[in-house]
Chain A
C-alpha cells in the first residue's frame, strides 16, 4: 500500500476510535457576532436559530462592543490591516508601544511585551528566562500552554498538587540548590472557576526567594475591585513578578497576549523569546481596539460590577434550583453532573431549549467529574439568566438530575 493510503488508513481509524469513545469534537457554526444572543447553525445544515450563549470568554461583553468596533475601524483606517512582519524587523508601530504602556499601567507592572497570543507568551517565556541550573514549580492543573512552554525549557521540572501549599513548600525546599526557582500558576483555573491562593503563594515565594509567575487569562479585566486581576483580588499587586495574560477573552476577544513584569525580564524576552522573534506582530486593528478596551475599564468598573452581579445571581439561582456547583465567585460556574454521557445529553437538550453550553469530560477534566461549564458575561441581562435557570430546571427534571417536585423536597429537608 502506498504511504499516503497507509497514513490515511491509520488516521481514519484513529478518528473512528474518537467517535466511538464519544470524544469527537464537533464545531457549531455561528452566523452572527459574539454576544449574549447568537445565531447558530447546528447541526451543520440545520436552520440557524437564536440561542443564549453561556460558553464564551466574553466576560465583559466587549467582543462586539460599539466602542471597540469604532476603535477597530479607526485602527484599520489609520494603521492599515496587516504589518506582514515580526516586531523587530518592520512590525512595530507607535500604537504597539502605547498598548504595552497601557497594559503595564493597568496591571501595575514595570513593562510589557506583546505576543500574537497568550499561548505564544506562555510558550516563549520560560525558555528565554531559565536554563538547566534552574527549577520550574508548576501547579498540576495549569493551562496546556504553560505545560508546552515548560516542555520547551531546560529547567528542572516540579509539579505541585493543585492549590496544595504544603506540597508547593515541599518542592521549594527540594530545589534550594537551584540558581533560580520560578513558581507558576494560573490566576483562575478555567475548568473549576477557582482562583489561586496568591496571598499564600507570594508568602512562600518570598520565604524561599522564588520568582512568581501568574497566567491571569481568566481574570484580567474583571477579578479584583477594579478588575486588574487575581493579584488585585488578593492584594498582592506588588508581589507577583511576571503576569501573562490574553486579549482574547475579556479584553475584546480577538487575539493577542502579553507578558508583563519587571523591566529586565521583558528586555530579555524581546531579545530571546522565540514566538516573539519568529511570529507576526499583533495586527494594528487588534492593538487599537485593545487600547480602547483598557481605557474603558480604567474609566469605570461598571462592566466588571455587572459581571459580578450576574455571576452571584446565577450561582444563587442554580443552587436554589437544586444543582450541584463548584463553590466560588468566578463567572465560570461548573455544574457538576459527573457522567460524560449525561453532560452531553444535557448540553444537547439545553440547546433545544435555546441555551448554548458545552459539556466537559475526560480527558479535559478528571474521570467522574464531567460537568457543564457555564460562563457568565456582562452582556447577559437577568432575563437571560432567568431563561437559563428555567431551561436547566426543565432539562434537569427530564434527565432525572432534579426531583420532579423540588419545592416539596426542599421543605422536607
Chain B
C-alpha cells in the first residue's frame, strides 16, 4: 500500500469520532422483497424476524406488486438485462421513448428525459440551464442532490427561508438584473412532509418574470387528486417550467429519474447534461416496469386513495395516543422527540416490538429536532397501522413522552 499510515490513522480516528458522537449509520439487512412486512436480520448475525416496515418510500406499495414484477420479467426476456451504453451511443430502446412520452402525459408537461436517478437529474440540470449571468433562488431545505447540482452551476446562488414567501419575494427583487432567475424547491420536503406553496411561488414567478423548478420525488404518483404531484395538489399544472422526479420511490422504487418540462430545456439536457451523456441508460427492466406502474396508477386512483386514508388514520391515532407529530397530510409523519439519543432508543425499542423505523437527527435534521420519520404505504392494512400505533404507545409510555409537549420532552431529555 502506498498511502501512509497517517492517512489510515486519520480516517480511523474520524470513524471513531462519528461513533462516539452517536452519529454512526448502521445498515439493517433485509432478506425479503420490499413490502409492508419484511424479514430483517439486525444486528448482522441475529436471527431473522418479520417486522412492519414504516420507513420505505414505497408509498403506493408498487415495489413488489405482481403486475410490476410480471412486466419486469417479460422485459428481461425480450429486452435483455443491460444495454451497456449511454443513451446517445447505443442505449436507447423504443421503450425509453415510450416511457418519456408516458411521463410527459402523466405529469402534464411538454417533454421528458430519463436519467439513471433523480440525483443525477438534479446534479446535471442546473449547469445546462443557467450561467453566471443567471440566478438560482432556492428554498433553504432543498434536497442534497439539488445542492450538489447548484454547486456545479456557475449561476449566482440565493437562498430563501424555508417556505417563506416574503423572503422569496425579497430575493426576487434583489436579482432583477439577472438574465434568468430560477426558483428552486422540493415539492414535498422529505424530513417534515410539508408541501411547498406552489400556487404562491408560481404567482411570484409570474410577477417577477422568473421560472420555477420543482423536485417532486416525494409526491409523484400520489399527491393531488389523481396523483400527478404537488403541482396538481396546488392547482398549478402547466405552470411549472421544470419538474424533476424519481422512479425510485412511489413509482416502483428500483432506480431512475427524469427531467420533465419545457420542451427546449428537456432537449438541452439531452444535448448537454453531463450525467445523461456520461452515465448509463436506464436498464430495460426498469423502463418496462415503470411503464406498467404508470398504467396501474392511471387507470385507477385506488392506491393513492388508500394511501391517503391510511395516512389520515395513522395521523389521527398517533395524535390520539399523545404523540407530538408535525401536522400535515403527507404520508411522511415526523414523530417529534427532539433528542438524538432518545430517537435512537425509541427506534430500537420499536424494532423489538416488530416495528421498523429509523431515528433522524443532526446533521440530517437541525440540532434539537430529532425525530422518528414514519412513512405510510398503500401496502399497509389497518391491522398493520393499529399494531404500529400500539407499539408506539407502549414505547412512548416507557419513556414517559405521551401527551408531553415539546418543552416537556426537552426538559426531560435535553436536545
Contacts and interface: CB of A to CB of B under 8 A. Distances in A.
Interface stretch (A25-33, A313-321, A382-390, A391-399): A25-33
Contacts of B267: 11, 15
Nearest to B14: A268
Contacts of B44: 97
Interface string A262-289: 1011011011001101111011111001
Interface stretch (A79-87, A161-169, A404-412): A79-87
Interface in A352-409: 356, 358
Contacts of B152: 148, 151-152
Interface string A120-154: 10010000010000000000000111001001100
Contacts of B250: 84
A24 B277 CA distance: 12
Interface string B52-92: 01011111001111001100110011111111110111101
B2 A211 contact: yes
Contacts of B14: 268
A30 B55 CA distance: 38
Interface in B1-49: 1-4, 7-8, 10-12, 14-15, 18, 23-35, 38, 41, 44
A241 B55 CA distance: 36
Interface string B248-287: 1110111100000011110110110011011110111110
B85 A55 contact: yes
Contact of A7 (B68, B90, B180, B270): B180
B29 A94 contact: yes
Interface string A232-256: 0000001101000010111011110
A63 interface: yes
Interface residue tally on A, bucketed by range: 35 or more
A35 to B, nearest CB: 7
A72 interface: yes
30 contacts: A3-B209, A3-B210, A3-B211, A7-B180, A11-B265, A15-B268, A27-B87, A30-B93, A30-B94, A32-B80, A33-B78, A55-B90, A64-B82, A76-B72, A79-B32, A82-B252, A83-B253, A85-B55, A90-B30, A93-B31, A97-B44, A116-B119, A116-B120, A152-B148, A206-B2, A253-B81, A255-B282, A264-B15, A270-B27, A278-B145
A304 to B, nearest CB: 15
Given A80-B35, A212-B2, A92 B28 contact: yes
B82 A8 contact: no
Given A84-B63, A205-B3, 15 more contacts: A15-B268, A26-B88, A29-B92, A55-B85, A59-B84, A63-B81, A69-B76, A84-B56, A84-B248, A85-B56, A88-B27, A90-B358, A145-B278, A152-B148, A278-B145
A278 B144 contact: yes
B407 to A, nearest CB: 29
A103 interface: no
A3 B205 CA distance: 9
Contacts of A80: 32-35, 63-64, 69
Interface string B130-144: 000000000000011
A56 interface: yes
A50 interface: no
Contact of B120 (A119, A143, A268): A119
A13 to B, nearest CB: 9
Contacts of A63: 80-84
A79 to B, nearest CB: 5
B223 interface: no
Interface string B216-254: 000000000000000000000000010000101110111
A5 B123 CA distance: 25
B15 A271 contact: yes
B55 A90 contact: yes
A344 interface: no
A97 B30 CA distance: 10
Contact of A271 (B24, B117, B280, B282): B24
B280 A117 contact: yes
Interface residue tally on B, bucketed by range: 35 or more
A23 B268 CA distance: 12
A82 B34 contact: yes
Interface in B348-367: 356, 358
B8 A358 contact: no
B116 interface: yes
A84 B55 CA distance: 10
Given A63-B83, A69-B76, A358 B89 contact: yes
B151 interface: yes
Contacts of A123: 123, 148
Given A7-B211, A58-B84, A254 B283 contact: yes
A14 interface: yes
A68 interface: yes
B289 interface: yes
A121 to B, nearest CB: 11
Nearest to A236: B2
Contact of B254 (A35, A87, A268, A283): A283
Given A18-B271, A57-B84, A85-B34, A117 B211 contact: no
A280 B246 contact: yes
B166 to A, nearest CB: 21
B38 A79 contact: no
Interface string A201-225: 0100110011110000000000000
B97 interface: yes
B85 A34 contact: yes
Nearest to A59: B84
A345 interface: no
The 5 closest A-B pairs by CB, nearest first: A80-B33, A253-B82, A82-B253, A33-B80, A253-B84
A58 B271 CA distance: 24
A24 B271 CA distance: 7
B268 A255 contact: no
